[in-house]
Amino acid sequence: MNREIIWLNDNYGNPTPCYKSDIKPPSVSAILDLIIDPEFEQFVRDVGEEKAKEIREAAANRGKSFHTFTENFIKELALRKDRQKALLHTLNVSPSLLEKENIPNHKIAEGRDLFYNFFYSDYSTRYVLLIGTELPVYSPILFYRGKLDVLYDEPGCHNVITDFKAYSKEVVEGSVKEIKIKRQLGAYALALEHMKNIKVTKASILAVIKSSSSIQEIICEGKELEEQKMEFEKLVRKWHELNGQNFLFDGENN
């Protein structure tokens, strides 16, 4: 590790590396943007850039709403151990929080409806042994940062990561979208190792599918998770190379 680099919190509480010259610590999502998705590029060509931007913003607002209802429910459930109290809590506090972030009312309603699909599923009881939510993570070795949704203790697996998504349709196995999802999980697992020497044994994306109201879980564990960590490391090193930040790794073999 380069000893001239230290990590400090910025104005938002996010960990930021400081070096003798300015550096740009990329987010996990910025690094994943290096992976080209032909299906998405075709979508933009079909509908045009302005319409594609409008659709993505609407989906982001819906996803933010779903995420907020789910996060507030999980935190209260872990604290109270009572599903009904946790449900009432999130229904009371989540709408006002979303309004402060200028999420349109109809998107708040859509996110709440997606949350109900989660609430009435078996998944909603999984996160009682909660370690944390909305956890800022970073790598002091590879110089990237992100924020994972949930870290919890699952019997038999111990440290497990889950990230919540709201998608319009199911993710196809072997698709570029699935590859990016698994790279994201690898990124979070790797950052926790570098930060706190926390070994993640299992990671998953839990997605509520708008078109069918079903829930899709994409799991990455064991050997596959280790492979995704290695693939993400290659990707983040490529990002630094493309952005003129190879100096971050000077002397790492000394």
What are the residue ranges spanned by the domains of the chain? 27-244
Reported as a pLDDT band with limits 50, 70 and 90, residue 10 is: low
Distance in angstroms (rounded) separating the CA atoms of residues 179 and 118: 24
**pLDDT value at residue 36:** 93
Q: Does pLDDT of 20 surpass 80?
A: no
Q: Does pLDDT of 142 surpass 90?
A: yes
Model-level pTM?
A: 0.87
CATH code reported for the domain at 27-244 = 3.90.320
**pLDDT value at residue 24:** 80
Mean pLDDT of the chain: 91
Q: Does pLDDT of 8 surpass 70?
A: no
Q: Is the C-alpha dihedral spanning 237, 233, 15, 218 positive or negative? A: positive
Residue 226 contacts by C-beta under 8 Å, 6 or more apart in sequence? none
**pLDDT value at residue 147:** 95
Residue-wise DSSP of 124-142: GGTTSSEEEEEEEEEETTT
**pLDDT value at residue 245:** 87
For residue range 41-71, list pLDDT tens digits in order.
999 999 999 999 999 999 999 999 999 999 9
